[in-house]
Structure 1
Amino acid sequence: MRLGLHQSARMEQRLIQSPQMIQAMQILQLAGADLEERIEHELVENPFLEQVEGDGQSTAEPAPTPEGESERLNRTIDDLDQAWREIAGRDSGGRPSRAAASAGGEDEDLKLAAMNNTPARYHSLGEALADQIGLFDLAPRDRALAEYLAYSFDARGFLPEGVEEAARVCPLPGTSAEELQAVLSVLREQVHPALGARDLRECLLLQLEAHGEDEPLVRALVEHHLEDLTTNRLPRIAKATGATIEEIKHALEALRGLDPCPGREFGEERAAAITPDVLVDEQEGGYVVRLTRQRFPSLRLSGGYKELLKQGGNDPAVQQWIKKRVEAARWFLDALAQRESTLERIAKVIFERQHDFLDKGARALRPLRMQEVADATHVHISTVSRAVSGKYAQTPQGILPLKFFFTGGTTNDSGEVESQTSIKARIRDLIGKEDRDHPLSDDQIAEVLEKEQGVRIARRTVTKYRKALDIPSSAQRRAY
């Protein structure tokens, strides 16, 4: 076999994303709090952006005419959407992707995996404890060890590896398990008696000890029968302990006031307050969908750059720097306007489709897929996904994530398609009204839905929806 080098020519298409296009994609996905941060950052970094405040005088450049601005904005949106179509239709090697070939709904779009919701902001347990530790009367080394522990706890406030292992890997030289245990005892005394527990069992036992609980049956339930408690197997516990069901229920009351997650009070389970991005208001028998524009500062391009260009004279470096910053400011303003336009159009289509939900609640939610909204707004499904990611709407039924309104469904006996959310609401209602002494099994729920409400659904689907609602099984719901 002969080896050699050969030259050949071939033509191929490649999508080159400009920095402006990438910025527009990023701005589109930002949720409210993150967008506020981004705006503040741009105001600091770019001297040619300024905030509009009241009717104060400014040297700002006049805004483009509505016609010119609208035309430029529409071009930008079209360019961005075409980019999304190209990106979603190609894999990393530039070949058509399987997702593009299947052209399915949002469940089948492989690109959506990269467009998950922007994480909500949390105040971490470590930060919260570090703030409190600063108020304690501790020696410098003990304070450092306390902060080390604070950042070693998991989100529940547990220390799964135990004090011995935490001491072994502690970056402070010479740290012993005894020394670290003494500091942990201070945290338990000052903050929560179960901080640093290795698991749920130790967490509950520490709290029983702190509360002075000495009832043998209560401790026995935690030490030996915790798994049976979580699955409501009271008869099995009664057989093992010799106690009656009533005695076990009485002992359970002592456990109900205990905290299974000592870090939950200030940890990652506590989300920041939600400010909606979309408002849905009832007006004259209908609904008006609008954005919460007032939460963001109004920006414009400062006219001061013209004077700076004059002062820069013939210095090419100065001229180039000014022109780049001005262009960056213009593109940022365009990206903000594009985000607003895209989000508003998508929100209006969502609530046109979900009009009945606004009047009647979750049971009236109709099946809706992102592809349907994409088709109605003439954008790619990836654009819809980015636009709704991490965004919330304030509706007559409460504040809800925009992704809540996208759901699949099933056909009822009337030939109408009913959404998954609506079916879940039916299941929740049935369980809420059941006889606790004889709770409904998943088979019985499926039977009631079909015979009494005309919704044909498999038992395994009932199980799936019940678990999604975080509702225990019938055995766990049974009252003894």
Structure 2
Amino acid sequence: MLELKQTQKLQAILTPQLQQAIKLLQMSQLELIEAIEQELKENPVLEIAEEKPTEEEFESKETEFQSEAEDTILKNEVMEEFLERYSPSDEFREREEKESINYENIIKKTSDLRDYLRWQAGLSDLSMDERLIAEWIIENINDNGYLEYTLDEISKVSGYKTNELEAILKKIQRFDPAGVGARDLKECILLQYEIKQEELKKEVNPIFLDIVKNYFSMLQENNFKSLAKKSGYPIEKIKEVFEEIKTFDPKPGRNFSNEQAPYIIPDVYVVKTEDGFEVILNEEDIPELQLNGFYISLNLNKKINEETKKYIKNKIKQAEWFIKSLKQRQKTLYLVAKSIVEHQLTFFEKGIKFLKPLNLKDIAEKLNIHESTVSRVTTNKYMSTPHGIYEMKFFFPSGINKDQGDMLSTNVVMDLIKELIENEDKHKPLTDDEIAAILKREKGINISRRTIAKYRDILNIASSRMRKID
């Protein structure tokens, strides 16, 4: 039997105003400026506050304008006299006004690797049919300059025979940059070497070709002794080949990438003063907002109909909440940044090696706010320090235990690992176990071999076997 029942339950609901406040909190500087501009467009009640000039500035400006006006009248009289005396016509033809070019609106068109290769193909002696084949090959070359698919795979899709594709690929491999169109690193190195020798008008070294073609994997592992034993070449010759290879670019197409470096605007500046470190918010491009006086008075006008009054009242509430949320964001950002500086004071004084472990909970408890608020306000925010610009999340590293019970940040530990590897004997590089033992013995840091390996991967440092030079 069906029946209706009434139940009560509590449920947390985020109002649109609260959702807006949270969004503002986690926005970066550029995103915030865009959000303010958008709000100004959508809400007529909201406007940018203009600084009113002081009485002295007003009087000074009035005198200046009066002086400029007198000068203009005098110049106009002189100009009229000149035109009357020297103009060949009784009528003065005004100069046609033309809209000047706004160079800021001109967008530079970037050219990627494939466009560059197509341009070269257009200048080459390829026939129309060969250019179509070249297009199929060029389209399958990735941003690093390598052919992503086999010629058999391209043949199935394009309908051209493999031998036809191979012939055109060889021509493309002579294009700039040297090494483009290679199918693997070995072919890329060989192409660059052959082109270099042609440009220098030198004969190719048969030892170089033999080692790269037949012993390339051993060369990658720096296994010179085994390579010498297997190939019969002296180690000195092998090292010469190795040094020659190091001069070539393993990713010849990367210089043609369309990717642009991200433009970072610091949200916070930390400046050293006589009294210590001062936290300054970057509010240069953030305008001061206020309510439009016209709409406020319109809202109080009894002659306005209820529908219009309701609309204005709603927009006033939205504007007030937006201004309040914006101020709250700036206040929270300032307090969190100041607290970070207090916790990481040794970093700001001495540098990255003195960065301490810190978590969101520490800052949240000190400021009596929720951890999620600290997380939001440090997301996509950057801090300019005496040691460079860092994302605010950078100041919250995890820690490694020391014998004394203290905690050391992972950034510091990674820096120590990097330093040990840079100063090691290249003929007998340190293993992960040996690095762990040194850190335990000399620094009192308890760290496992697996953690060392993990940090090496983060730092893009190869294993001891790969770093070894015979």
TM-score normalised to structure 1 length:
0.69
Match of 2:364 among 370, 374, 380: 374
8 A Cα contact 1:279 1:290, kept in partner: yes
Residues 217/346 of structure 1: CA separation in 2 closer, same or farther (3 Å cut): farther
Range 246-255 or range 222-231, more displaced = 222-231
Residues 412/6 of structure 1: CA separation in 2 closer, same or farther (3 Å cut): same
Tell me, yes or no, if structure 1 residue 398 matches structure 2 residue 388: yes
Match of 1:211 among 178, 183, 196: 196
Aligned partner of residue 26 in structure 1, secondary structure: helix
1:243-283 Cα offsets, whole Å, 9 max, x none, are 23222221122222222233433537753243322211111
Alignment match, 2:354: 364
Tell me, yes or no, if structure 1 residue 25 matches structure 2 residue 15: no
Residues 167/412 of structure 1: CA separation in 2 closer, same or farther (3 Å cut): same
Match of 1:349 among 334, 339, 344: 339
Aligned partner of residue 294 in structure 1, secondary structure: coil
Alignment match, 1:15: 12
- How far apart are the structure 2 equivalents of 1:27 and 1:302? 22
- How far apart are the structure 1 equivalents of 2:137 and 2:312? 50
- How far apart are the structure 2 equivalents of 1:254 and 1:343? 52
Tell me, yes or no, if structure 1 residue 479 matches structure 2 residue 469: yes
Alignment match, 2:271: 281
8 A Cα contact 1:167 1:180, kept in partner: no
- How far apart are the structure 1 equivalents of 2:329 and 2:148? 44
Range 460-469 or range 217-226, more displaced = 217-226
- How far apart are the structure 2 equivalents of 1:36 and 1:332? 13
8 A Cα contact 2:26 2:379, kept in partner: yes
How far the C-alpha of 1:346 sits from its partner, in A, is 1.3
8 A Cα contact 1:52 1:299, kept in partner: yes
Residues 164/135 of structure 1: CA separation in 2 closer, same or farther (3 Å cut): closer
In structure 1, what residue type is equivalent to 2:244?
A
Aligned-pair Cα RMSD in Å: 4.3
Match of 1:129 among 112, 115, 121: 112
Match of 1:39 among 36, 39, 42: 36
8 A Cα contact 1:130 1:150, kept in partner: no
8 A Cα contact 2:266 2:382, kept in partner: yes
Alignment match, 2:379: 389
Residues 142/42 of structure 1: CA separation in 2 closer, same or farther (3 Å cut): farther
In structure 2, what residue type is equivalent to 1:351?
V
8 A Cα contact 1:133 1:146, kept in partner: no
- How far apart are the structure 1 equivalents of 2:296 and 2:157? 59
- How far apart are the structure 2 equivalents of 1:403 and 1:366? 13
- How far apart are the structure 2 equivalents of 1:131 and 1:296? 41
- How far apart are the structure 2 equivalents of 1:152 and 1:462? 39
Correspondences of 1:22-421 after superposition (within 5 Å): 22-52=19-49, 55=52, 128-129=111-112, 154-161=142-149, 189=175, 192-195=177-180, 197-212=182-197, 214-267=204-257, 271-306=261-296, 318-421=308-411
8 A Cα contact 2:421 2:429, kept in partner: yes
- How far apart are the structure 2 equivalents of 1:225 and 1:303? 80
8 A Cα contact 2:134 2:168, kept in partner: no
Residues 443/323 of structure 1: CA separation in 2 closer, same or farther (3 Å cut): same
Relative contact order (C-alpha < 8 Å, sep 6+): which is higher? 1
1:204-248 Cα offsets, whole Å, 9 max, x none, are 344334434733444455544444444333333334433232222
Aligned partner of residue 280 in structure 1, secondary structure: strand
8 A Cα contact 1:354 1:366, kept in partner: yes
1:275-307 Cα offsets, whole Å, 9 max, x none, are 322211111151112222214344444334347
Residues 278/233 of structure 1: CA separation in 2 closer, same or farther (3 Å cut): farther
- How far apart are the structure 2 equivalents of 1:44 and 1:215? 69
In structure 1, what residue type is equivalent to 2:243?
E
Unaligned 5+ runs, structure 1: 58-125
Range 469-478 or range 385-394, more displaced = 469-478
Residues 235/143 of structure 1: CA separation in 2 closer, same or farther (3 Å cut): same
How far the C-alpha of 1:437 sits from its partner, in A, is 2.5
How far the C-alpha of 1:311 sits from its partner, in A, is 10
1:14-33 Cα offsets, whole Å, 9 max, x none, are 22222222222222222233
Alignment match, 1:117: none
Residues 151/466 of structure 1: CA separation in 2 closer, same or farther (3 Å cut): same
In structure 2, what residue type is equivalent to 1:160?
E
Alignment match, 1:451: 441
Identical columns (%): 36
- How far apart are the structure 1 equivalents of 2:117 and 2:212? 34
- How far apart are the structure 1 equivalents of 2:381 and 2:466? 36
8 A Cα contact 1:158 1:197, kept in partner: yes
- How far apart are the structure 2 equivalents of 1:147 and 1:276? 44
Alignment match, 2:417: 427
8 A Cα contact 1:158 1:198, kept in partner: yes
Unaligned 5+ runs, structure 2: 55-108, 124-128, 199-203
- How far apart are the structure 2 equivalents of 1:247 and 1:356? 51
How far the C-alpha of 1:149 sits from its partner, in A, is 8.6
1:118-145 Cα offsets, whole Å, 9 max, x none, are xxxxxxxx96429976995969x99999
Q: How many matched pairs?
A: 405
How far the C-alpha of 1:354 sits from its partner, in A, is 0.8
Residues 6/38 of structure 1: CA separation in 2 closer, same or farther (3 Å cut): same
How far the C-alpha of 1:424 sits from its partner, in A, is 1.9
How far the C-alpha of 1:439 sits from its partner, in A, is 2.1
- How far apart are the structure 1 equivalents of 2:168 and 2:323? 56
- How far apart are the structure 1 equivalents of 2:25 and 2:170? 45
How far the C-alpha of 1:417 sits from its partner, in A, is 2.0
- How far apart are the structure 2 equivalents of 1:218 and 1:52? 72
Aligned partner of residue 235 in structure 1, secondary structure: helix
How far the C-alpha of 1:407 sits from its partner, in A, is 1.7
- How far apart are the structure 2 equivalents of 1:328 and 1:134? 54
